[in-house]
Amino acid sequence: MSDKKLQVIPLGGLGEFGMNIMALRYGDDILVIDCGMMFPEDELLGVDIVTPDLTYLAENRSSVRALVLTHGHEDHIGAVPYFLAEFPRIPVYGTAFTLALVERRLEEHDLEQEPELREVKPRQVLEIGPFKVDFLHVTHSTASCVALAITTPLGVVVHTGDFKVDPTPLDNELFDLHSFAEYGKRGVLLLLSDSTNVDRPGYTESERAVRPRFEDIFNRAERRLVISCFSSSVHRLQMVLNVSQEFGRKVALVGRSMISTTEIAHDLGLLEIPDGVLMRPQDVAEAPPGRVTVLISGTQGEPMSALSRVAVDNHKHISVDRGDTVVLSSRIIPGNEKAIFRMIDHLSRRGADVRYGTMSPPLHVSGHASVEELTLILNLLRPRYFVPIHGEYRQLARHARLAEHLRHSGLEETFVMETGETLEIDGRAARKGERVTVGRVCIDSGTVDEVVGDLVIRDRRHLSEDGIVLPIIAINKHSGRSETLPEIVTRGFATGEEGSELIQNARQVVARTLESSTREEMGDWGVMKEKIRVDLKRFISKQSARRPLIMPVILEV
């Protein structure tokens, strides 16, 4: 491989939501940016999370120099424990808050080697192999987020991470537009920019826009207020604490992630907790309802989350009663609609007034840049090449069209890429290169081996659609023959009288298979199970047009 070639290798997050991970390669040096997870789609039955396939990095293990993190959301750090299990000696760089969230995740994993987590600050420049990485502060829906300006031997690559340009952030830490403009003046080889909100016109509202809506709810609420937001939304947590204090309410923090994130943010000076505002969850029941705010995790209706348990009155400390107000201050992540609305139904049955994102005025503002902000970043940087990142293909394509106006200002080409495709840049031009191995690794944390293979997913889907049939055959160990008519047990397959008749006929099919088998076949249970399975599959498919999982069981008596 030529030393004069820079490769951009997306291993996740392009053409899909979540699981963001990008590799930059120059010669024999690879820099990895982010390592996120995604939540499974409905068809991935029993799967808890999905992580990126790291085969490409494993095949080039000796070239991997570092993992650099832009911020602490799960779709950017959720797979870091699995990365460190594969690359235990690779240093991980990130801001203090981001690394603290990574450490919290690592507590759930028993890594053999202590990870090498290295804290960085905005405007700090690191040299990692041939890369000089400058960390630029950006505003987003969580704290301590950075973009990366990476100087390579061929030019500067800017990776925005997730961002919006918030002119009035709650922590008063402004988006570093000045540094972006400086890099634009010097010249940017390649821009990799967040595309999540490219279909939203105008500007994304500031985090401060939520406060008047919260004040209105606090004004109207006569009883208990139960507020749920993403635990990583430190600025939203600060707002709830401040408004609660102003309205004379005590705040109870409920949910493991809510408590741990609050502790981390407070320890790092990112969250200021007013004196005397906190109360213990176990004291909520006895406190006057009009003097209590419950700040609780579980906005996405996760089955065992604190809010989901409250919704079905199954939480040991918190309950929702008639007249209480429940506020979901978060967006509905695509795919979670059913779980969230089912939870809202339960809360509504308990008599609660439930406010959620689709209502007007909205109780949540996005953390991602809309069209005008995306255009601003393009205009400031004026890159030679542009690759939209973070989003499904339609969003990447739309973001590419948004950059067309720069054709007369130095933009030579835009590449709409998907995970696994590569971009190669040399001193003359940029072009798409060869594909690399990518994919999804399904994690089921309740199993002995956490990684779930395609066959297991297929079998689970098979079972969910067509059920299971267990023919049970008792064979006399002396005569080698079946003494009674075989039994058939089904689950998720046949019900009612029609099903009963089908099962009786199926028993006869198995009996005929046994009768037509030779003594040698009867002596080989592996052969007999396969014969029974094939004959029964043919019969059931013909009678019902369904294909249940058939698992014959032979008992020797």
Q: What is the pLDDT of residues 285-316, one digit of tens each?
A: 999 999 999 999 999 888 788 999 999 999 99
380 with 345: CB under 8 angstroms? no
Tell me the C-alpha distance between 383 and 411, whole Å.
6
Q: Please pick, among 194, 324, 466, 535, the residue that the annotation labels catalytic.
A: 194
CATH fold label, 467-556: Ubiquitin-like (UB roll) (3.10.20)
Location of each CATH 3.40.50.10710 domain in the chain: 207-355
Q: Please pick, among 73, 140, 368, 399, the residue that the annotation labels catalytic.
A: 368
Positions of the chain with pLDDT under 70: 1-3, 40-48, 358-361, 443-465, 477-480, 494-499, 557
368 assigned to active site = yes
Orientation angle between helical segments 525-544 and 496-515, nearest 10 degrees: 140
14 pairs with which residues across the strands?
391
According to CATH, what is the number of the domain 6-202+366-443?
A: 3.60.15.10
**164 Cβ partners below 8 Å, 6+ apart?**
139, 140, 141, 197, 204, 366, 367, 368, 369, 370, 373
CATH fold label, 207-355: Rossmann fold (3.40.50)
Tell me the C-alpha distance between 135 and 195, whole Å.
20
Tell me the C-alpha distance between 516 and 270, whole Å.
77
In the DSSP assignment, the letter for residue 516 is: T
Location of each CATH 3.10.20.580 domain in the chain: 467-556
User: What pLDDT sits at residue 458?
Assistant: 57
59 with 446: CB under 8 angstroms? no
Pairing of strands 92-94, 451-452: unpaired
Joined tokens for residue 81: 């424990």
User: What pLDDT sits at residue 497?
Assistant: 54
In the DSSP assignment, the letter for residue 295 is: E
194 assigned to active site = yes
Location of each CATH 3.60.15.10 domain in the chain: 6-202+366-443
For the chain, what's the residue count? 557
**294 Cβ partners below 8 Å, 6+ apart?**
224, 225, 226, 227, 251, 252, 254, 281, 284, 318
**554 Cβ partners below 8 Å, 6+ apart?**
473, 475, 525, 528, 529
User: What pLDDT sits at residue 554?
Assistant: 83
User: What pLDDT sits at residue 400?
Assistant: 97
